[in-house]
């Protein structure tokens, strides 16, 4: 049973709870809470040897592990278009990591919480023989417009991407230390409100995550190769003979950028008025489901978008 099978299996749980508006299958669960503002609720974990390693050339520092654990959950809150409020953290310490390691881990967790205005509300710690892991749960508050989900993209929408994509495990190790797109999500929300039809954060790779969006929205996508804002680390990897930059842009996981489907006129307005330093790029369009997922090559040919990407936990 692969992780994806199991996730599907978990989704079968009956969801007829009166407060649950959006359940498993999206970046955050959305619960009805106050009369006018929903609550976003998320759990996420990172595990040694799956999401980070502690030895060798790619070793993460404990500060980086703590940061990544919190930032990864923040990225899901951003993808729901919500404002982060509070986090709780459960840590499993592998025996032998030592006090200094634990203290620095805490430093990374606290730094990310403080940087994003999160209350670090509680935690739990165990130690044992297993790989180290950090599990973060987070709650956020939605605006009166409600949450963004993976569903709702419509043919004719524009696909917009924050930041640059690919090479997350390259020189900058940006899968470890990254800025989740909370500020960018807020700016997009304020600029176009309900013009955002769907959103997902890129964790499994652009191609695969575009597929998740298509599956939940019942649509297709066409991604424009010429428009892709490829990260310099992906270009450097190509130069070093470590695979094509395009492959990295489409397939690398853990970019933690936002992929949004935005109503056409709203997207035009948004892109024209964009003032933040983080790039915001039109990378394609939403199509009918029957068109599938396609890649428009630079020379103009339309190819099927390969279903490659990072499958967590395998």
- For a second copy, the binding residues (CB under 8 A) are 1, 3, 6-7, 9-10, 13-15, 17, 19-20, 23-24, 26, 28-29, 31, 33-34, 39, 41-45, 47-51, 85-86, 88-93, 98-99, 102-103, 106, 110, 113-114, 117-131, 133, 135, 137, 139, 312-314
CA 259 vs CA 25, 37, 39, 158, 194: distances in Å = 16, 24, 22, 10, 16
Beta strands 133-141 and 39-47: pairing type? antiparallel
d(CA 217, CA 280): 22
Residue 106 Cβ vs a second copy, minimum distance, rounded to whole Å: 6
Query: Closest separation between CB of residue 287 and a second copy, Å?
Result: 29
Q: Quick one: CA dihedral 224, 227, 233, 239, positive or negative? A: positive
In the complex with a second copy, the residue whose CB is nearer, 114 or 307, is: 114
Q: Using CB atoms within 10 A of its CB, is residue 46 exposed (0-12), middle (13-18) or buried (19+)?
A: buried
Give the residue with the Cβ less far from a second copy, 124 or 303: 124
Smaller CB distance to a second copy: residue 218 or 313?
313
Name which of 68, 110, 6, 23 is nearest 254 in CA terms.
68
Residue 41 or 178 with smaller CB distance to a second copy: 41
Minimal distance, residue 131 CB to a second copy, in Å: 4
Q: Which is nearer to a second copy, 131 or 155 (CB)?
A: 131
Q: What is the dihedral of CA 233, 237, 239, 242, to 10 degrees?
A: -170
Nearer to a second copy, 107 or 155 (CB): 107
User: Are the CB atoms for 210 and 94 separated by under 8 Å?
Assistant: no
- In angstroms, what is the minimal distance from the CB of 34 to a second copy? 5
CB of 314 to a second copy, least distance (A): 8
Q: Which is nearer to a second copy, 49 or 303 (CB)?
A: 49
> Roughly how many angstroms between the first and final C-alpha of the chain, as a whole number?
10
User: What does the block give as tokens for 231?
Assistant: 């990260």
Smallest gap from residue 96 Cβ to a second copy (A):
12
Is the four-CA dihedral 70, 76, 81, 82 of positive or negative sign? negative
Least Å distance between CB 169 and a second copy? 18
Which residues, other chains included, contact 232 with Cβ-Cβ below 8 Å and sequence gap of 6+? 164, 167
Dig out the tokens for 83 from the structure.
């404002």
């Amino acid at each position: 049973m692969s992780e994806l099978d199991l996730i599907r299996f978990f989704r079968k749980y009956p969801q007829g709870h009166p407060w649950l508006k959006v359940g498993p299958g999206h970046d955050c669960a959305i619960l009805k809470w106050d009369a006018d503002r929903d609550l976003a609720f998320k759990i996420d974990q990172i595990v040694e040897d799956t999401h980070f390693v502690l030895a060798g050339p790619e070793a993460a520092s404990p500060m980086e592990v703590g940061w990544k654990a919190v930032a990864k959950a923040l990225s899901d809150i951003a993808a729901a278009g919500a404002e982060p409020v509070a986090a709780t953290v459960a840590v499993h310490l592998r025996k032998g990591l030592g006090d200094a390691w634990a203290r620095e881990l805490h430093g990374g967790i606290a730094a990310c919480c403080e940087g994003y205005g999160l209350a670090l509300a509680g935690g739990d710690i165990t130690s044992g023989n297993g790989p180290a892991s950090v599990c973060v749960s987070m709650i956020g508050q939605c605006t009166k417009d409600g949450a963004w989900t993976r569903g709702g993209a419509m043919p004719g929408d524009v696909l917009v991407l924050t930041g640059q994509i690919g090479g997350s495990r390259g020189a900058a190790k940006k899968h470890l230390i990254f800025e989740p797109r909370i500020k960018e999500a807020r700016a997009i929300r304020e600029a176009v409100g309900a013009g955002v039809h769907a959103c997902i954060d890129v964790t499994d790779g652009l191609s695969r995550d575009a597929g998740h969006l298509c599956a939940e929205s019942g649509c297709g996508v066409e991604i424009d190769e010429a428009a892709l804002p490829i990260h310099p680390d992906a270009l450097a990897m190509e130069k070093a003979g470590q695979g094509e930059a395009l492959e990295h842009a489409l397939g690398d996981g853990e970019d933690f950028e936002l992929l949004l489907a935005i109503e056409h006129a709203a997207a035009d307005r948004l892109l024209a008025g964009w003032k933040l330093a983080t790039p915001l790029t039109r990378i394609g369009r939403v199509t009918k489901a029957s068109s599938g997922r396609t890649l428009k090559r630079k020379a103009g040919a339309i190819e099927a978008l390969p279903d490659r990407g990072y499958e967590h936990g395998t």
